[in-house]
Amino acid sequence: MSFKQFVLSNIWLVMIVLASGIMLLWSFIGNRIRGVKEIDCAGALQLINHKEAHVLDVREPDEFKIGHVLNSKLIPLGKLRERVGELERFREKPIVVVCRSGNRSATACAMLGREGFAQVYNLAGGMNAWQKTGLPLET
């Protein structure tokens, strides 16, 4: 069986493999293309402690109540566009954006970047990574 015959005989399998590859590639480069800067927990802690970074939590209120970064501000991602004015005083300061895993916060970072916030950082791995590192939570 030739390669062409194999591809034609297994077109759905080939399509699934190609789609999976594209999604995997996007997960590695998508945030960079959107202008999202990733930061790990140690880097975030440095920004918070030494550069007075503001922590923005974009999870839902029930997630926030379970535990959040000390002194973080809750603005759920779905409300961010209408409440972005609440962040105006932090426009010139670093902002670390967190969610559960880093996906919603990446979307929030891209949105804030379009609004002119230049020092916005996505916490890679989100609160999952924060907790695995053993960093403190406020409830």
Q: Which residues are catalytic?
A: 99
Q: How many CB atoms lie within 10 A of CB 119?
A: 18
54-57 β-sheet, strand order: 37-39, 120-123, 95-98, 54-57, 73-74
Rounded to whole angstroms, how far apart are CA atoms 55 and 26? 26
Point out which residues pair with 68 in neighbouring strands.
138
Rounded to whole angstroms, how far apart are CA atoms 9 and 1? 10
